[in-house]
A and B are shown apart, each in its own frame.
Chain A
Amino acid sequence: MKRVLSNKWSIAVFVLPTVLFFTYIVIIPIFKSFYYSLLSEIPAKVGDESTFVWFKNYIKMFTPGRRNAFPGAVLNSMTYAALSIFVQLPFSLLIALILANGVKGESMYRNIYFIPVVISSVVISLLWQRIYKDLVPAIYDGLGLALPKNGFLGNKDTKLMAVFLPSLWQFVGYHMLLMYGALKSIPSDVIEAATVDGASATRMAFSIQIPMIKPMLKVCLSFSLIGSFKLFDTPWILLERSNMQLPALSMYVEMFSNHKYSYASAQAMFIVFECLAFTALLNLLFRERDDRDLTKGRGRKAA
C-alpha cells in the first residue's frame, strides 16, 4: 500500500476522477459565471444578442442610488460577519472551554447545544417566525411594553438583527463542537503540568488551551466569515420574498425574479471574490502570527 501511494502516477490516477468532477461542477461554472457577468443583459435563450460590456455590471453594482440595494447588502453582510466573529465565536469558545474542563452532564450539554445545527434551517426559520410573531408580542404585552411598529420582522430598524439572531444562535453549537474536539485533543500531560504548577482555569485557557487550538480557531473563523457572506436560507424565509438586504438574497432576486442574468452573475462573482479575499486575508494574518511566534521561540532557544 505504501509503495502504491508513494508512486506519484498512482496518486494522480486515484485523484483524477474527483478532480475532473470538481472541475466540472465547481471550477468551470465559476469561470462561466465570470464570463456571463461581462455580457450585456440578454433576453432568455436568445443567446447571440449579447455583447461584451466588460465591467459595466460591476460598476453598476456599486453606483450609488436609492434603489441600488447592493452596497447596503454588502455592508449588512459585513455587520453579520463582525457579529459572528466577535459574538458568536467567543460565545462558542466559552461554552467549549467550560464543557472541555469537565462539568457534570458534559455530553448531555454538548448534544443540546448541537441540536440546532442538526435541524434544517427552514425549520429553524419557521420556529423563529413563531417566536417573533407570537411569543415576543405576548411577552411584550405581558410586560406592558410597545412592540416596534410592524413587529420585529417588519420594522426596518429591527428586521436585520431579528434575522441575524437565529443564524448566529443556530451555529453556536457547530463552532462549539469543533473547538470542544480540539480542546479535548490537547495532550493531558500539558494540562496536568499546568495544574501542578497551580495555573488557574482562566490562566490555563488563555496561556495553554486557546493557543493550542489556534489551527481550529482559524478553521472556525474561515467558516464563519464565508458563511456570513453567503447567508441566504434563514433571511429568505424570515423576510419573505423580494428582499435584497444581503448579497446572496440580492443575487437570487436579480436572477430569478428580475431575470437579469448578467447582473446577477456579477453579484455572484463578487460574493466569490469576497470569500476568497477574506480567506486569503485570514491566512495572511495567521501566517504572520505563526512566523512571529516561531522567531520568538527560536530566539529563546538561542539564548
Chain B
Amino acid sequence: MKKILALALALVMMLSLTSAFAEEEVVTLKVSSIWSAETEANRAPFLKTLEEFEAAYPNIKLEVEWYEANAWKETGETLALSDSLPDVFYWNAGGVLWNLVGSGDILPLNDYLTDDIMARMEPGLLVDMTFDGKVYQLPYTKAASMLYCNTELFEKHGVKIPETWDELIEAVKAFRAAGVTPMALGGGDQWPTNMYTDIIALRFVGDEACRAAYYKDEGATFMTQDWVDGMAAFKQLIDLGAFPEDAASLTRDESEVPYFAGEIPMYYHGQWFSGSLSPEMQQKVVAVKFPAVGKGYDNQFMGGAAEGFCVSSYTEHPDEAFVAAQFFAENLSKNGYIAGAGLPAWKYDFSEYTDLNPVMAQIKDITSTADSMLLWGNTALTGEDATLIGVTVYEVLTGELTPEQWCEDMETIFE
C-alpha cells in the first residue's frame, strides 16, 4: 500500500512538473498609443487590432498606455532622455524619428524584416523611416492631405468645385458674398495652418526644392520668389476672408464643428479627417486634389508614410516587441482602412468590404497616381525649426508677418 501511495505521489509530482514546463512563459510588453480621445478615427481600429493580437499571441501580454498625440510627443521625448520608452510605441517619421535614432533609442529592424514581410508592404513607404540603410519604423498608414468639398453647399450656391487657383479664388469670393465662411481652419493649434501653407508652397515651389528646404540640404533656401509667391497666395486667401474670423484662436476640433454641421464648404486637411465624417456627410463630401497653379507641380502631394510603430533599443524582449510592432502596423493598416480612418500601407484584398468610406476610397485612388509625396514641413523639420515653421505661419495668419518676412525668418534655420 505504501509503495502504491509513494508511486502515486511521484506520478502527481511528475505530472505537475511537466505541466509547469509545458506552460509557455508569458512576456509583458509596454505599448503606447496616441488615440486616447473617443473622437480619434484610429481608436476603434487600434482597439480591434489589440484584440486580434491578444487572440493570436496569448503568450504576449500588452500593457497599453493611452495619450493624446501632442502629449505623447512631449512625453516620449522626455522618456527617451532616461532610456525609458515603452517596448513598442507610436512615433512620427522623418526628422523627429531621426532625433530618437540619433540618441540610440530605437532598434533597427532589418534583421527581422524577412522578404515575406517586405513583400506584403506597399512599396516606397520606408523612405522617411530608413536611415543609413537601416529601417527603424514600420508604417501602418499612408498619409495625404486633401481638399474636402461639401458638394451640397457647392450646389446650393452654384459654385464649381475648384480645379485651378483662379477657380479657388472665385469660389472663396462667391461663398463670402453669400455669407458663408469658405474654408475651415483651426489656427490656434498652429499645425492645421501648416497644412494649407505646405500644399500652397508645394504648388509654387515644387517637391524637390521643398524637400531640400525641409531636410536642410546644402544650398537649400527659402529666399526665392517662388516661396514668397506661395506665402503671398496664402495671404491672399486670408485677405479674401477664406477662413473664419477667429481662425487664429480656434483649436482644430472647434474649427471642424461647423464643417461637420454642413456650414463650411471647403477644408484642407489630412486623410484622417475623412474618417471623422459621419456616414451621412461621407455621401456629401468629395475629396479632391488641391487646385492647380500651373507651375508643373500640380500632381504632387503632401503626406507619405509619416506615422508608424517603433521598438525601443532597450526593450528586454526584442523578438516579441518586433512581432507586436509588425502586427500592429499591418493589422492597423487593414482595420484603419476598413473603418475609414486611414489609407493602407500594407497590401490587402479589400474586395469583400463593400461599405468602405467613399471619401477614403477617393483619396486612395487619387494618390495612387501621385507624382510624389512629401512629408509635412513641421514633421520633416525638428526641434526649434519645427516650432519656428509653426509659429511663423501662425504669425502670417494673424497678420504679424508679411510673406517676405516669413521667408527671411525661415531662412534662419540654415544658420
Contacts and interface: CB of A to CB of B under 8 A. Distances in A.
Given A67-B409, A242-B387, A150 B245 contact: yes
Contacts of B247: 150, 154
B164 interface: no
Interface string A134-145: 000100000000
B318 interface: no
Contact of A150 (B74, B248, B412): B248
Interface of A: 43-46, 66-67, 132-133, 137, 147, 149-156, 159, 240-242, 244, 253-254, 256-260
A151 B245 contact: yes
B254 interface: yes
A150 B188 CA distance: 10
Given A154-B188, A241-B70, A257-B386, 18 more contacts: A43-B102, A43-B103, A44-B103, A45-B81, A45-B103, A66-B405, A67-B412, A133-B249, A149-B398, A150-B245, A154-B247, A154-B249, A155-B248, A156-B398, A240-B190, A258-B387, A259-B99, A260-B383
B399 A149 contact: yes
Contacts of A154: 187-188, 246-250, 398
29 contacts: A43-B102, A44-B81, A44-B99, A45-B81, A137-B246, A147-B245, A150-B187, A150-B247, A150-B248, A151-B248, A153-B188, A153-B249, A154-B187, A154-B188, A154-B247, A154-B250, A156-B398, A156-B400, A159-B249, A240-B188, A242-B390, A253-B387, A254-B384, A256-B74, A256-B77, A256-B78, A258-B387, A259-B77, A259-B383
Contacts of A258: 383-384, 387
Query: What is the predominant secondary structure among interface residues of chain B facing chain A?
Result: helix
A45 B390 contact: no
B398 A150 contact: yes
The residue among B246, B251, B383, B398 with the most chain A CB atoms within 10 A of its own CB is B246
Nearest to B104: A45
B104 A66 contact: no
B388 interface: yes
B189 A151 contact: no
B310 to A, nearest CB: 16
- Size class of the contact patch on chain B: 35 or more
A147 B246 CA distance: 9
Contacts of B80: 44-45
B391 interface: yes
Report, nearest first, the 3 A-B pairs whose CB atoms are least far apart: A154-B249, A154-B248, A258-B384
B384 A257 contact: yes
A116 B397 CA distance: 34
A133 B384 contact: no
B29 to A, nearest CB: 23
Interface in B80-134: 80-81, 99, 102-104
Interface string B360-400: 00000000000000000000000110111011001001111
Contacts of B394: 242
Contacts of A149: 245, 398-399
B85 to A, nearest CB: 12
A256 B77 CA distance: 8
The residue among B80, B102, B398 with the most chain A CB atoms within 10 A of its own CB is B398
A121 to B, nearest CB: 17
B176 to A, nearest CB: 16
Nearest to B190: A242
Nearest to A263: B384
Contact of A257 (B102, B249, B387, B398): B387
A67 B405 CA distance: 11
A257 B74 CA distance: 7
A132 B391 CA distance: 22
Contacts of B399: 149, 156
Nearest to A65: B412
B188 to A, nearest CB: 5
Nearest to B188: A240
A257 B412 CA distance: 17
Nearest to A258: B384
